[in-house]
């Protein structure tokens, strides 16, 4: 950093015209193919084109007043505004006014029974005598008590070798410094005439643009639509057999449905499928035990040769 500071102080007197040229902001290279009309700044109340005094003080013709009138609302009667379409699901909000009688009413035994949540069968409930069910892999927790002998034992040379962090590659090169030093000759250099000519932007025309306003003929103002145009302008009617939405999204449940009792076949089909528990399917008490022979085994020279890292 000290070298950079000394070099910056040595070039304080450089005031080349090239530096001032490069410091100028970049000019817009937009052409008539990519830009339409004057430049507009979003978020302002400025108009695209200035409005003339004649347009501000003019009066609209009957045809313009007719075209500016809103579209007729064909929803009449109880379908005006249709609140059930506010939530776009065919019914109105689930929050409605509750009558005082419903607030003081008591639920029947059948309604109380239906309001209870579904209970899991006894075969799926976790019991105290099933500790392996929590992790479903044959062991309760990966955290276990370490014996005193394991805490006081000395590590082997092989264990120390495996515990060492991986070293970088011998040909690894660290990152370079962020800043780069610019030579004095580059700072005071002047570009050739050819480079200045090639760096100029292309000159393109600013048009053509169509005028934003054009006169409307008198025949177009007094034109009457044909019968075919009026027929095509009619809104699409509802098909035959169309039934509107219910006036009330809630309806009464018959007494027979409240007192209905499911048959034995329905109860049999409603019962969940009982499968064997994970304790019996994936239980292996010796899954995380290392054999005594594996602890005392010595690898062959071929295995040591294959385990050695590749040297590049």
Residue 279: the pLDDT is 66
- On whether the CB atoms of residues 130 and 279 are closer than 8 A, the answer is yes
Residue with tokens 């004095």: 184
Whether the CB-CB separation of 209 and 32 falls below 8 Å is answered with yes
Q: What is the pLDDT of residue 58?
A: 87
The number of beta carbons lying within 10 Å of the beta carbon of residue 19 is 11
What the block records as the tokens of 76 is: 């009449």
**pLDDT beneath 50, residues of the chain:** 1-12, 84, 87, 90, 128, 138
For residue 293 the two structure tokens come to 């022979």
Give me the torsion for CA of 227, 233, 237, 239, rounded to 10°: 80
Question: How far is the C-alpha of 165 from the C-alpha of 162, rounded, in Å?
Answer: 8
pLDDT in tens, 32-47: 566 656 666 666 677 7
- For the chain, the maximum distance between any two Cα atoms, rounded to a whole number of angstroms, is 107
Phi-psi region of 98 (alpha: psi -120 to 50; beta: other; left: phi over 0): beta
pLDDT for residue 134: 52
Structure token digits, residue 129? 């005598």
Closest CA to 278 of 126, 131, 136: 136
Are the C-beta atoms of 310 and 169 separated by less than 8 Å? no
Q: Which helix (H) or strand (E) holds 22?
A: helix 17-22
What pLDDT score does 118 carry? 83
Quote the Cα angle for 92-93-95, to 5°.
Answer: 140
* Residue 231, pLDDT score: 92
Cα separation, 11 vs 155, whole angstroms: 62
- Residue 7 pLDDT: 45
- HSE toward the beta carbon, residue 8, CA cutoff 13 A: 7
Give the separation between CA 296 and CA 300, rounded to whole angstroms: 13
The alpha helices in the chain, defined as continuous H runs, are 2-10, 17-22, 53-57, 62-68, 100-104, 109-115, 148-152, 157-163, 184-187, 193-198, 218-221, 227-232, 255-258, 264-270, 278-281, 292-296, 301-307
Dihedral sign from CA coordinates of 25, 30, 31, 37: negative
CB distance 64 to 75 below 8 Å: no
How many other CB atoms are found less than 10 A from the CB of residue 138?
15
Structure tokens at 239: 């098909």
């Amino acid at each position: 950093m000290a070298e950079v500071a000394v070099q910056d102080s040595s070039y304080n007197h450089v005031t080349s015209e090239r530096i001032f040229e490069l410091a100028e902001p970049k000019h817009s290279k937009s052409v008539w193919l990519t830009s339409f009309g004057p430049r507009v700044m979003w978020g302002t109340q400025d108009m695209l084109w200035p409005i003339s005094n004649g347009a501000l003080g003019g009066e609209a013709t009957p045809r313009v007043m007719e075209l500016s009138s809103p579209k007729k609302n064909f929803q009449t009667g109880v379908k005006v505004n249709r609140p059930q379409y506010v939530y776009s699901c065919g019914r109105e909000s689930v929050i409605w006014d509750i009558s005082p009688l419903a607030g003081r009413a008591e639920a029947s035994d059948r309604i109380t029974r239906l309001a209870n949540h579904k209970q899991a069968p006894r075969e799926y409930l976790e019991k105290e005598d099933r500790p392996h069910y929590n992790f479903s892999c044959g062991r309760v927790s990966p955290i276990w008590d370490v014996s005193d002998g394991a805490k006081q034992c000395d590590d082997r040379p092989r264990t120390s070798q495996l515990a060492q962090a991986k070293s970088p590659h011998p040909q690894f090169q660290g990152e370079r410094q962020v800043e780069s030093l610019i030579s004095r000759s580059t700072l005071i250099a002047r570009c050739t005439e050819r480079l200045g000519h090639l760096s100029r932007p292309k000159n393109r025309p600013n048009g053509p643009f169509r005028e934003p306003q054009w006169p409307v003929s008198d025949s177009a103002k007094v034109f009457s639509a044909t019968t075919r145009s009026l027929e095509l302008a009619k809104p699409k009617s509802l098909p035959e057999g169309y039934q509107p939405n219910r006036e009330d999204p809630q309806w009464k449940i018959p007494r027979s449905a409240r007192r209905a009792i499911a048959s034995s076949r329905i109860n049999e089909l409603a019962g969940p499928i009982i499968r064997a528990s994970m304790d019996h399917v994936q239980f292996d008490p010796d899954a995380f035990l290392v054999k005594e022979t594996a602890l005392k085994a010595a690898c062959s020279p071929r295995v040591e040769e294959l385990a050695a890292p590749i040297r590049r």
